[in-house]
Amino acid sequence: MLLPDDMIETVVDTVSGIKALDYVIGISQFHRIQASPGLMDSLEYVKAEIEKISSVKTKIHVYDVKGEGSIGKWENLFGWSVESGTLELLEPEKKTLADYSSEPISLAVFSSNSQVEAEVVYVGKGLLPEDYEGKNVKGKIVLTTSRASLAHKVACIANGAAGVLTFVPPSGKDEIANLRRYEGLWPEQGEKDEVRFGFALTQADGVKMRDWLLEGKTVKVKANVKAELGQGKQGALSALLEGKDKSKEIWLVAHICHPHPGANDNASGSAAILETLRTINHMITSGKIEQPDYSIRFIWMPEWNGMIEYIHNEMETLSRCKFVINADMVGANPCLSGSIMNMFRTPHSLPSTLNNVISHWLCVESDRKHDPSKGGSLAPFKWQYQPYSAGSDHYMFTDSTVSIPAIMLNQFPDKFYHTSTDTVDKIDVGQMARAARVVTLSALTLAHPRFVCKERLLAIVRNEAAELMQKVTIDGTTTLGRCLENPEKAYPRILRWLGLAKNLGVRTLDQAEEEWYLIEEQKEIKDALKTSLEMNYTTEMVVARKAYLGACAEVGLEAKDESQFDLEAFEKNTQVKRNLKYALPPSSLGNLDPERFVKYVQLFEKQPHLGSWIDELLNLSVDWTRLEDIWDRLCFQFGKFDLTMLEGIVSDLKDLGVLEVREE
């Protein structure tokens, strides 16, 4: 173990899944939308709970929002407040379709004042000009299967529609569900006067209305929204558990925003770090552990915009941050949600032993026998070590302009994700306890470096790199053995990727000396493990060579020596360099022309790693770098994809002023 057994057992005895569930219930009662009063109320709730259990320093950082200015490419939000919002079906039947007072999630976030009685027009996805051919939507209300933010921009702002109604189309033979999707309009600066409204229909109501319209029936609704866009407050709550060395901090972060109920997303992550605070504080005050060497800071904020506000405005505090753990959706019952825990590592551009610390405790938790007396699902605790993902607040830290190692713990897939069915009854006390134990043990490992077994940590780093090299060899020998590709194309790539895997391990071992204090003997172990990686690398090279010779014999090619391959040779000389401070918001792609933007909407549906490709592309282009070299590294990290796709992305990012491009 990385920590002494008595410290581990104390954590196990102290963490309470039941208490964590209480926190989920408390947080999920609020409609926690960015820059809204409900968000600030949820922060006050957490602050009050901390004050009940601890005397740690807390502060709610308040930032003004008014839809003006930006931080990097992150535009300042509008403040948003809601009094009411109703949607009534008038024809061909009478029915209340949505009521904000009973289901806040039914009103699209950032809807504006509207009193409209109008016919409904079905536009399908409603994103392309052909979706509107032969349809007059001006002054009418459109029904769409797309996200409200996308359809509103085209239907309302560009084509004069009075509002949008969205629903989730059934997939295959799925039963029609009584659920609503979390929707928002997210207007850009300068669009305030053009913002209309949106409602999320239940799937059943949406399908029925679509079918009526396709049958040629008239569908008429009445919408009444009392909501204001304008000035408001954005907040972030920080709680500091001080260490002996106040110049170094470990950050545990969780976005507290999302519509009521938003139980797993992300009342669960917010509750997990709150339970971690309660646990560590109790262990210190009861004398079971020492005050940590490094401070531990807990941060609750609205996702993305709130995090970038905190990073930008609290630079002195940020300078003390060594590591970040982001808890985002960690408490759902896996038997109900269909999800498992995922640990999304740091990008290869930012090697760190943080990955190995978190994965160690996930392994320990997975092996731990569940105590039925503590309640919760008896399902095994399953988890996966995943490539870097740019899908939550941690990517603001791993961006090359900040460069702080950060990982995300996240349950996915979750069939209740971003819908009205993400309710407290789906949260499992056992899962909450497991998540809180992983976060607590990881935080104590990072904040109590004197107690950590560095030798074990260094060996774990070496083993991860060795496994990665083995994977490259297995995949490569399969390609060569089955003659799936020209051996003279496949073999150099295998050699390059083996080098990348080895170098990642070596860089991480070197980083260990920066991230942890190593005595001379431990430095010698580190160097011995680097030598071990070189030996592994040589062995894998021999295996790859044999597979290459066999492939050449199979297809009738004369095998070449390694010296005849130029592993650094690429066909093109395009170079790129980033021109951007802070991470790129996904919404920035919305500034492209509509046709190109729709292309990205479609790409994101097919390519789950697309956002991560873009983020890591920017991380790897701090200085002028060959595009094909970046592409090769992205393929190694996320899986193979066409270079032409990356060239198209680069062209679009150049047009957005994010990248510079030159030919050498």
**pLDDT tens track for 205-218:** 999 999 999 999 99
Find the mean pLDDT for residues 9-15: 97
What single letter denotes the amino acid at residue 630? I
Q: Are 532 and 463 in contact (CB under 8 A)?
A: no
Residue scoring higher pLDDT (172 or 338):
338
Helices (H), ranges, 448-587: 454-481, 487-515, 520-555
Residue found under tokens 């009685």: 117
**pLDDT > 70 fraction of the chain, expressed in percent and rounded:** 99
Question: Torsions phi, psi of 537, nearest 5?
Answer: -60, -45
Residues 6+ apart with CB under 8 A from 63: 233, 234, 235, 236, 309, 313
Under the banding of pLDDT at 50, 70 and 90, the label for residue 174 is low
Find the mean pLDDT for residues 618-639: 96
pLDDT, tens only, 302-317: 999 999 999 999 999 9
Q: Are 181 and 168 in contact (CB under 8 A)?
A: yes
Peptide bond preceding 305 in cis form (omega within 30 of 0): no
pLDDT, tens only, 98-153: 999 999 999 999 999 999 999 999 999 999 999 999 999 999 999 999 999 999 99
Neighbour tally for 550: CB within 10 Å? 16
User: At residue 371, does pLDDT exceed 90?
Assistant: no
User: What is the C-alpha R_g of the chain?
Assistant: 26
Neighbour tally for 32: CB within 10 Å? 29
Q: How far apart are CA 628 and CA 573, in angstroms?
A: 8
Q: Which pLDDT value is given to residue 571?
A: 77
Q: Are 67 and 229 in contact (CB under 8 A)?
A: yes
Residue found under tokens 């808890």: 327
Q: How far apart are CA 664 and CA 661, in angstroms?
A: 10
Q: Are 32 and 38 in contact (CB under 8 A)?
A: yes
**pLDDT > 90 fraction of the chain, expressed in percent and rounded:** 90
Token pair recorded at residue 475: 């995949």
Residue among 431, 405, 189, 211 at smallest CA distance from 329: 431
Q: How far apart are CA 139 and CA 587, in angstroms?
A: 27
Q: Of all helices (H) and strands (E), which one includes residue 296? A: strand 294-301
Residue 419 DSSP symbol: B
Specify whether the backbone of 455 is left (phi greater than 0), alpha (psi in -120 to 50) or beta. alpha
Residue 91's DSSP bridge partners are 220
Residue found under tokens 């800071």: 297
Question: Torsions phi, psi of 211, nearest 5?
Answer: -65, -40
First-last CA distance in the chain:
51
Q: How far apart are CA 30 and CA 184, in angstroms?
A: 17
Q: Are 576 and 67 in contact (CB under 8 A)?
A: no
Token pair recorded at residue 575: 């170079």
Q: How far apart are CA 430 and CA 91, in angstroms?
A: 48
Residue among 278, 276, 244, 241 at smallest CA distance from 449: 244
Under the banding of pLDDT at 50, 70 and 90, the label for residue 489 is very high
Token pair recorded at residue 297: 């800071």
Q: How far apart are CA 124 and CA 166, in angstroms?
A: 10
Q: Whole-prediction pTM value? A: 0.96
Q: Are 590 and 153 in contact (CB under 8 A)?
A: yes
Q: Are 440 and 281 in contact (CB under 8 A)?
A: no
Token pair recorded at residue 204: 């059943």
Q: How far apart are CA 405 and CA 42, in angstroms?
A: 28
Q: Are 502 and 539 in contact (CB under 8 A)?
A: no
**∠ at Cα 173 (167, 174), nearest 5°?**
50
Under the banding of pLDDT at 50, 70 and 90, the label for residue 608 is confident
User: At residue 631, does pLDDT exceed 90?
Assistant: yes
Strand, coil or helix: what is 45? helix
Token pair recorded at residue 345: 């590592």
Residue among 474, 437, 346 at smallest CA distance from 400: 346
What single letter denotes the amino acid at residue 414? D
Find the mean pLDDT for residues 164-185: 87
Q: Which pLDDT value is given to residue 370?
A: 82
Residue 332's DSSP bridge partners are 427
Q: How far apart are CA 150 and CA 107, in angstroms?
A: 16
Find the mean pLDDT for residues 404-427: 96
Mean per-residue pLDDT over the chain, rounded = 95
Find the mean pLDDT for residues 335-361: 97
Q: What share of the chain is helix, strand, coil (3-state, %, to 5)?
A: 45, 20, 35
Under the banding of pLDDT at 50, 70 and 90, the label for residue 173 is low
